[in-house]
């Protein structure tokens, strides 16, 4: 199942993103998915704030970015999820997670999320995002913020 | 730079000019005068904030509620921290988003240190350069209510840069109550399920 279909099936209304070389391949699929709006932002911190505003109106956004952008956006994520308690969900590509290469971008992903008290789960690498649907469904049912980590190769 | 108008005069002018219903999102130094005046239940004091994120936050509200004008009051210090948000706003094409820049030239809530770039930064030119359909400055002596009415009446996303007098003894920036509870109460109004007792 492609990323657009998986998100749409889970009830996602907006994908707020900055693409990376792996997840960016899904731009066309996201743009043509009925009922889903793709929103590009200029910098990652904007994504969490924009998603917080969408959530306030009843929309169900999914934030998508690479782990390096996640680190950049930490204050905005903290504000949305910890200050305001918004149950936002994010799909984060983890650079070099599949290569075993020594890369702080990969090795910091889990410690970063633990520091933010955010639950997370790993997806399988590849082009089938069907597992994402159930994960987003569960996070929404529990009304909890959650991050889904997508293992990537080198940038 | 002009000495500008007081933040209280700006808040009064926004209240006089805004259509109703509408959403106003004050942040940082605009929060205290707004709360002192009395926030509408449609409004949200974005504090605690992630500095620079008030415009993207308001953009999300504007996209989710295209039937409501949504106006963010942001400081110049906050805006220069995240200028890319103007490109994001242009691309998202939220016709109901309004941005009022509280241009006092200082980081008011941290004690009045100078904003990076100062008067050399032309935020109206930046907004136009980022593709915003409308961007103006409140000129010296102009009536802020008239300018704000024009802002709200604009056909598409619009920004008004308002010179505001910095103050020496600004009150600390504090959330007017528990943040998550305030947010949830406001969210319920936006989704059409206002809490009992809300006007």
Domain containing residue B94: CATH number: 3.40.50.970
What is residue B76's predicted lDDT score, i.e. its pLDDT?
Answer: 97
pLDDT at A77 over 70: yes
Mean pLDDT of A24-28: 96
Locate B113 and state its tokens: 């240190």
Residue A13 is assigned to a structural domain of this protein: yes
What ipTM goes with this model? 0.97
Instruction: Collect all residues with Cβ–Cβ distance below 8 Å to A152 and sequence separation of at least 6.
Output: A20, A21, A22, A23, A66, A93, A94, A95, A96, A97, A98, A125
What is residue B2's predicted lDDT score, i.e. its pLDDT?
Answer: 55
- Render pLDDT for B71-115 as a digit per residue (tens, 0 to 9): 999 999 999 999 999 999 999 999 999 999 999 999 998 999 999
Q: Which of A4-18, A53-67, B98-112, B161-175 has the lowest mean pLDDT?
A: B161-175
Residue B71 is assigned to a structural domain of this protein: yes
Residue B199 is assigned to a structural domain of this protein: no
CB A91 within 8 A of CB A62: yes
SS3 per residue for B50-97? CCCCHHHHHHHHHHHCCCCCEEEEEEHHHHHCCCHHHHHHHHHCCCCE
CB A48 within 8 A of CB A63: yes
Give A 122-151 residues with CB within 8 A of chain B: none
What is residue A155's predicted lDDT score, i.e. its pLDDT?
Answer: 75
Task: Going from the first residue of chain B to its last (199 residues), give the mean pLDDT of each consecutive group of 10, the final group possibly shorter.
Answer: 85 98 96 92 96 98 98 97 98 97 94 93 98 97 98 98 92 89 97 83
| Closest-CA residue to B73 (of B48, B94, B45) | B45
Give A 34-53 residues with CB within 8 A of chain B: 37, 39-43, 45-53
Cα(A81)–Cα(A66) distance, integer angstroms = 18
Nearest to B60 among A43, A52, A75 (CB): A52
Size of interface A-B (CB pairs under 8 A): 106
Phi then psi for A58, rounded to 5 degrees? 100, 0
Our count of domains for chain A comes to 1
What is residue B46's predicted lDDT score, i.e. its pLDDT?
Answer: 97
Residue B55 is assigned to a structural domain of this protein: yes
What is residue B1's predicted lDDT score, i.e. its pLDDT?
Answer: 52
Cα(B125)–Cα(B141) distance, integer angstroms = 21
Mean pLDDT of A30-42: 97
Residue A10 is assigned to a structural domain of this protein: yes
Tally Cβ neighbours within 10 Å of residue A15: 27
CA distance B140 to chain A (A): 33
Our count of domains for chain B comes to 1
Residue B179 is assigned to a structural domain of this protein: yes
The length of chain A, given as a count of residues:
155
Using a CB-CB cut-off of 8 Å, the residues of chain B touching A78 are: 50
Residue A124 is assigned to a structural domain of this protein: no
CA distance A135 to chain B (A): 24
Cα(B115)–Cα(B105) distance, integer angstroms = 5
Percent of chain A scoring above 70 in pLDDT: 100
What is residue B199's predicted lDDT score, i.e. its pLDDT?
Answer: 60
Residue B141 is assigned to a structural domain of this protein: yes
pLDDT at A146 over 70: yes
Tally Cβ neighbours within 10 Å of residue A92: 25
Residue B35 is assigned to a structural domain of this protein: yes
pLDDT at A132 over 70: yes
What is residue A23's predicted lDDT score, i.e. its pLDDT?
Answer: 96
Query: Which of A49, A59, A60, A83 to mutate: most B Cβ within 10 Å?
Result: A49
> Which residues span the domain enclosing A36?
1-58+135-155
Instruction: Collect all residues with Cβ–Cβ distance below 8 Å to A89 and sequence separation of at least 6.
Output: A61, A62, A63, A136, A139, A140, A145, A146, A147, A148
> Which residues span the domain enclosing B106?
7-190
Residue B195 is assigned to a structural domain of this protein: no
Cα(A115)–Cα(B5) distance, integer angstroms = 43
Q: How far apart are the first and last CA of chain B?
A: 41
Residue A116 is assigned to a structural domain of this protein: no
- Mean of per-residue pLDDT scores for chain A: 96
Residue A73 is assigned to a structural domain of this protein: no
**Which string of DSSP letters, residue by residue, matches B5-58?**
B-HHHHHHHHHHH--SS-EEEEBGGGHHHHHHH---TT---B-S--TT-HHHHH
What DSSP element (H or E) covers B189? helix B179-190
Q: Which of A18-27, A96-105, A124-133 has the lowest mean pLDDT?
A: A96-105
Nearest to B64 among A43, A46, A58 (CB): A58
Residue A6 is assigned to a structural domain of this protein: yes
Residue B1 is assigned to a structural domain of this protein: no
Query: Which of B47, B53, B127, B188 to mutate: most A Cβ within 10 Å?
Result: B53
């Amino acid at each position: 199942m492609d990323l657009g279909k998986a998100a749409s099936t889970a009830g996602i209304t907006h994908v707020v993103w900055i693409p990376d070389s792996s997840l960016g391949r899904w731009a066309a699929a996201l743009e043509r998915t009925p009922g889903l709006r793709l929103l590009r932002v200029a910098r990652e911190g904007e994504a969490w704030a924009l998603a917080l505003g969408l959530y306030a109106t009843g929309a169900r956004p999914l934030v998508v970015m690479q782990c390096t952008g996640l680190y950049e956006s930490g204050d905005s994520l903290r504000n949305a999820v910890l200050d305001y308690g918004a149950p936002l969900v994010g799909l984060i590509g983890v650079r070099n997670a599949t290569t075993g290469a020594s890369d702080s971008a990969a090795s910091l992903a889990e410690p970063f999320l633990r520091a933010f008290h955010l639950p997370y789960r790993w997806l399988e690498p590849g082009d089938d995002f069907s597992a994402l649907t159930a994960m987003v469904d569960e996070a929404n049912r529990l009304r909890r913020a959650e991050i889904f980590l997508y293992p990537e190769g080198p940038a | 730079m002009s000495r500008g108008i007081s933040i209280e005069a700006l808040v009064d002018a926004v209240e006089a000019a805004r259509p109703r219903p509408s959403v106003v999102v004050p942040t940082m130094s605009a929060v205290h005068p707004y709360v002192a005046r009395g926030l509408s239940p449609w409004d949200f004091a974005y504090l605690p904030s992630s500095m620079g994120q008030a415009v993207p936050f308001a953009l999300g509200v504007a996209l989710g509620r295209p039937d409501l004008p949504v106006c963010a009051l942001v400081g110049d210090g906050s805006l220069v921290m995240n200028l890319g948000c103007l490109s994001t706003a242009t691309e998202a094409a939220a016709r109901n988003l309004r941005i009022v820049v509280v241009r006092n030239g200082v980081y008011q809530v941290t004690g009045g240190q100078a904003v990076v770039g100062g008067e050399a930064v032309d935020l109206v030119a930046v907004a136009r350069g980022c593709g915003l359909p409308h961007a103006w400055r409140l000129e010296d002596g102009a009536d802020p209510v008239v300018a704000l009415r024009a802002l709200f009446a604009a056909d598409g996303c619009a920004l008004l840069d308002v010179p505001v007098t910095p103050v020496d003894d600004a009150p600390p920036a504090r959330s007017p109550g528990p943040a998550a509870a305030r947010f949830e109460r406001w969210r319920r109004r936006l989704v059409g399920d206002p809490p009992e007792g809300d006007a």
